[in-house]
Amino acid sequence: MTIHIGAKPGDIAETVLMPGDPYRARWAAETFLEDAKLVNEVRGMLGYTGTWRGHKVTIQGSGMGMPSLSIYANELIRDYGAQTLIRIGSAGAMQPQLNVRDLVLAMSACTLTTPSRGIFKELNFAPTADFGLLHAAWTAAQSMDATCHAGQIYSSDVFYDERPDLNEQMQRHGVLAVEMEAAELYTLAARYGRRALAVLTISDHLLTHEALPSDQRESSFGDMVELALTAAFA
């Protein structure tokens, strides 16, 4: 057990999927895993372990934002031996060629700041995905009936952004989408020598203002979870 994860030794798999929403963790576990068992409910941040096609998998909520994800990713890696960590979450599209329900594979994640910022001081560290996971996910996406994009995303440290000038520059430089966790996940994976990837579903669009209704979000996220699981064990 750790401060934030109540799982016993052996309860956490080496492969962990990390949605921000703990209820999405429950939905994904019940939908995709066999014999899913609740292994964590500290502070309501639900975590489940089961099997997918014979492979042991944990699906653990991370909370919203990089500080929260940093807590769970650190403990999963350092105390439970997690080797592969894949964020599965929603994102806002920043480019016209993306549509709601499209999938995005985050090759890299730009950001203003992360909880790890103080370590690097003047260095502008570039957090990137594990290439093996990225390649496996891209290959798997080609066989699925889903539109998938790969490229750079933006990990914001605020939800209610008031920097339209910054968004304009990111759109100008081809940043695909915005979310709130991947940059710190990639940084921690690099620090500890682990594999990490963010597989995202476009839930809303900054340009068109289209958005998925809340009652359609879970059913629209199935391709994302399947893609993440397929990539993890390719």
Binding residues: 4, 20, 24, 43, 87-90, 179-181, 203-204
* Sign of the CA dihedral running 197, 130, 135, 16: negative
Give the residue numbers of the binding site for phosphate: 20, 24, 43, 87-90
DSSP string, 187-199: HHHHHHT-EEEEE
Query: Which whole-number Å values give the CA distances from 134 to 29, 138, 183, 198, 234, in the listed order?
Result: 23, 6, 15, 9, 11
d(CA 219, CA 204): 15
DSSP string, 128-157: B--HHHHHHHHHHHHTSSS-EEEEEEEE-S
Annotated catalytic residue: which of 11, 79, 204, 223? Answer: 204
105, 149 contact by CB (below 8 A): yes
d(CA 105, CA 35): 29
Tokens of 107: 């090759």
Give the residue numbers of the binding site for a purine D-ribonucleoside: 4, 179-181, 203-204
For residue 131, count other CB atoms closer than 10 A to its CB: 11
Is 165 one of the annotated active-site residues of the chain?
no
Q: Would you please indicate which residues are annotated as catalytic (active-site) residues?
A: 204
